[in-house]
């Protein structure tokens, strides 16, 4: 299948990359100059706080938020313990891993030790080794159990507050981007990714080959190449999937480049003042050419002079034989318009995705997971319901695999397929999903379809998603929430006036639909409720501003004259509310005051 790589670098503020195949848009990546990725960057950080309850440290890396470094991600070299104990700890870690590998015959594989620091995301799973991944995961339960047991054995004798001190300097790498209020997740086990290899300069004696290279002949050949490279014993090296069918010289050149990069990082670290950025992972152009581009892609079209020159230069360094395929796009019509990519991007903002058969998908990302619902819609060509369900589900599986990639859906993904009663049909859909997901660069794990027709899968987050989704209450529900909030505020404490800062749209909805209810609340509590428009407030939120104190508390103040004056003022104000409104022409929608007489006291929907 022919593929075409399109790069839009015509604007300085952003870079877009699209991978096209015969089936349309296959992958899409976006980077804004205002928000660069942190993932993969290496910093000289300073321990700002140690949280014993979490057994983790917060590291100042010079970013807006401090990074999060779990105890298990701290290399023993940083432990402030006797030298003999530290060396014994490192030797125990190396020896235990080598012994395990020899016993199980997997000395060509390595075990991933990276912890997922985000409690809301799923564990990392098997798949192709990518830039941010320093080790390849062995997926069996036995190996995972060994990994966790080894960690506990090596670290249970220590607590983070005993071996790490505030103000200590640590060289760390970002393994997960900042999200919401959470800072970046960090590790002190550094990894440097090249086109064909990944160098782990401070990891254990790990030499490995990507599990996607499965044939014994290929693995033996690559194993011999690793042995010939004479990698230092204190370093680890993994040959990536892209290293398959590459010559010894190509792999050796890639390894030499990474080795030189590590020397430069060490040199820069010695003269840096923490917190400091030591090494930047690289911009989108470099990452795509390194991780996505293959020699099978004969067309690399670049729009923008600077982007073209950078692409040409980097390609000449990494793949000199392929630099001739890089061409500058010079047409007046934008490159994404020419190849109809913009239309595909617009569809990414719509939660509904139509299928050719008439069915459709509904994609709903939430805080905890991504829900994908498969619906048959107008897919009624088959007379048999079971056949219709199977055909729609198989078609949906293809589209889901595509949407997961281009939208970069990650974490826990739950797919609600159309119910099928025959077990063989369920197995057929499962097989199709696994076959398609296997081509994904991100590491994934797929479960079987449950009795409820649900298929669960987890997917590694490769980058920040192009689209940020947020689940919000409907306007009516937000209005009800505001009513309850105001009522609770007045029930907890007496107020003479209450100022409610609110979004203009929500204010209009409240006064149009809930004016009588708010009037009843104001009357019951003998309080004047004022709404102040504030466009900075979210449509589903309100803020209660400063209000007068409880009259009873005011009377206890020593200055009796002031109290009397205020009391009379309140009395005057409450008796002349209606007149004030008419005289000053203050709209009813602006201020809702208590009314002394209400014909029907039970008119409010909340009245008991």
Angstrom CA distances, 225 to 244, 250, 437, stand at 12, 11, 30
How far, in Å, CA of 432 to CA of 425, rounded? Answer: 11
Position 169 in a domain: yes
Position 415 in a domain: yes
How far, in Å, CA of 24 to CA of 528, rounded? Answer: 60
pTM assigned to the model = 0.66
* 83 plus 204 within the same structural domain: yes
* 325 plus 407 within the same structural domain: no
Res 346: pLDDT: 84
How far, in Å, CA of 406 to CA of 387, rounded? Answer: 29
Q: Which residues of 390-410 are buried (b: 16+ CB within 10 A; e: fewer)?
A: bbbbbbbbbbbbbbbbbbbbb
Res 135: pLDDT: 40
Q: What is the CATH number of the domain that holds 112?
A: 2.40.50.140
Number of domains in the chain: 4
For the beta sheet containing 326-329, the strands, ordered from the edge strand earlier in sequence to the opposite edge, are: 24-32, 14-21, 4-11, 299-303, 326-329
Tokens standing for 114? 């990276």
* 71 plus 116 within the same structural domain: yes
Domain boundary among 326, 347, 368: 347
* Burial (CB count <10 Å: 0-12, 13-18, 19+), residue 580: middle
| Contact indicator for 112, 137 with CB cutoff of 8 Å | yes
Res 137: pLDDT: 39
Position 65 in a domain: yes
* 370 plus 297 within the same structural domain: no
Q: Which residues of the chain have pLDDT under 50?
A: 99-148, 549-608
Res 47: pLDDT: 96
**Please, which residues bridge with residue 374 across strands?**
361
How far, in Å, CA of 311 to CA of 530, rounded? Answer: 59
* Burial (CB count <10 Å: 0-12, 13-18, 19+), residue 466: middle
- Domain that includes residue 133, residue range: 37-280
Among residues 126, 397, 122, 409, the alpha carbon closest in space to that of 241 is found at 126
* 411 plus 454 within the same structural domain: yes
How far, in Å, CA of 235 to CA of 233, rounded? Answer: 5
* 45 plus 20 within the same structural domain: no
Position 469 in a domain: no
* 114 plus 250 within the same structural domain: yes
Position 84 in a domain: yes
How far, in Å, CA of 183 to CA of 56, rounded? Answer: 13
Among residues 121, 118, 132, 124, the alpha carbon closest in space to that of 181 is found at 118
Angstrom CA distances, 429 to 125, 389, 490, stand at 21, 10, 56
Position 465 in a domain: no
Domain boundary among 331, 347, 363: 347
* 51 plus 11 within the same structural domain: no
Phi, psi of 592 (to 5 degrees): -115, 110
* 210 plus 299 within the same structural domain: no
Q: What is the CATH number of the domain that holds 368?
A: 3.40.630
* 371 plus 443 within the same structural domain: yes
* 241 plus 168 within the same structural domain: yes
Could you please report the per-residue DSSP string of 203-266? S-S-EEE-TT---HHHHHHHHHHHHHHT--TT-EEEE-GGGTT--HHHHHHHHHHHHHHHHHHH
Q: How many CA atoms lie within 13 A of 147 on its CB side?
A: 17
**Please, which residues bridge with residue 174 across strands?**
186
Position 423 in a domain: yes
* 143 plus 218 within the same structural domain: yes
> Could you tell me if residue 591 is left (phi over 0), alpha (psi between -120 and 50 degrees) or otherwise beta?
beta
| Contact indicator for 315, 23 with CB cutoff of 8 Å | no
Q: What is the CATH number of the domain that holds 301?
A: 3.30.420.60
> Could you tell me if residue 31 is left (phi over 0), alpha (psi between -120 and 50 degrees) or otherwise beta?
beta
Q: What is the CATH number of the domain that holds 561?
A: 3.40.1260.20
Angstrom CA distances, 407 to 171, 270, 404, 437, 549, stand at 33, 40, 6, 14, 52
Domain boundary among 280, 304, 339: 280
């Amino acid at each position: 299948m022919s593929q075409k790589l399109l790069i839009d670098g015509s604007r300085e503020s952003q870079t877009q990359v699209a991978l096209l195949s015969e089936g349309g848009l296959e992958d899409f990546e976006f980077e804004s100059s205002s928000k660069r990725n942190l993932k993969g960057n290496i910093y000289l950080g300073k321990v700002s706080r140690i949280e014993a309850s979490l057994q983790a440290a917060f590291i100042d890396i010079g970013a807006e938020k401090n990074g999060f470094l779990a105890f298990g991600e701290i290399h023993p070299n940083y432990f402030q313990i006797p030298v003999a104990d530290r060396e014994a700890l490192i030797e125990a870690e190396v020896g235990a891993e080598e012994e395990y590998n020899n016993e199980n015959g997997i000395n060509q594989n390595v075990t991933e030790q990276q912890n997922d620091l985000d409690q809301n995301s799923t564990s990392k799973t098997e798949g192709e080794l990518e830039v941010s991944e320093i080790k390849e995961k062995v997926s069996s339960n036995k190996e995972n159990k060994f990994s966790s047991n080894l960690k506990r054995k090596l670290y249970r004798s220590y607590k983070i507050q005993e071996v790490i001190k505030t103000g200590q300097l640590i060289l760390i790498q970002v393994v997960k981007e900042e999200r919401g209020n959470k800072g970046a997740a960090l590790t002190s086990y550094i990894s440097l990714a090249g086109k064909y290899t990944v160098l782990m300069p401070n990891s254990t004696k790990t030499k490995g080959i990507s599990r996607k290279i499965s044939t014994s002949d290929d693995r033996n050949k690559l194993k011999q190449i690793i042995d010939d490279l004479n990698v230092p014993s204190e370093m680890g090296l993994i040959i990536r999937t892209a290293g398959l069918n590459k010559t010894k010289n190509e792999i050796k050149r890639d390894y030499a480049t990474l080795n030189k990069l590590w020397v430069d990082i060490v040199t820069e670290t010695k003269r840096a003042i923490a917190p400091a950025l030591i090494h930047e992972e690289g911009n989108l152009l470099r990452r795509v050419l390194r991780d996505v581009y293959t020699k099978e892609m004969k067309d690399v079209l670049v729009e923008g002079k600077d982007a073209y020159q950078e692409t040409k230069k980097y390609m000449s360094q990494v793949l000199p034989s392929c630099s001739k395929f890089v061409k500058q796009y010079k047409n007046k019509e934008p490159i994404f318009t020419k190849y109809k990519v913009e239309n595909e991007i617009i569809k990414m903002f719509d939660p509904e995705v139509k299928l050719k058969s008439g069915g459709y998908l509904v994609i709903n990302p939430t805080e905890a997971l991504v829900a994908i619902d498969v619906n048959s819609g107008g897919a009624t060509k088959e007379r048999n319901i079971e056949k219709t369900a199977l055909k729609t589900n198989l078609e949906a599986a293809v589209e889901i695999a595509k949407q997961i990639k281009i939208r970069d859906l990650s974490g826990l993904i739950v797919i609600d397929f159309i119910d099928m009663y025959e077990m063989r049909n369920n197995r057929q859909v499962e097989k199709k999903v696994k076959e398609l997901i296997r081509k994904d660069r991100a590491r994934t794990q797929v479960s079987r379809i449950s009795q409820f027709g649900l298929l669960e899968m987890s997917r590694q987050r490769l980058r920040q998603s192009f689209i940020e989704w947020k689940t919000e209450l409907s306007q009516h529900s937000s209005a009800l929430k505001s009513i309850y909030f105001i009522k609770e505020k007045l029930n907890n404490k007496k107020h003479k006036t209450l100022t409610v800062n609110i979004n203009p749209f929500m204010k209009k909805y409240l006064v149009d639909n809930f004016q009588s209810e708010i009037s009843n609340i104001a009357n019951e509590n003998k309080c004047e409720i004022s709404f102040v428009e504030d466009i900075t407030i979210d449509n589903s939120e309100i803020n209660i501003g400063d209000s007068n104190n409880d009259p009873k508390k005011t009377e206890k103040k020593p200055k009796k004259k002031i109290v009397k004056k205020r009391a009379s003022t309140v009395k005057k104000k409450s008796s002349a509310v209606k007149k004030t409104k008419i005289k000053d022409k203050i709209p009813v929608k602006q201020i809702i005051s208590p009314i002394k007489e209400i014909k029907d006291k039970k008119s409010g929907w909340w009245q008991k």
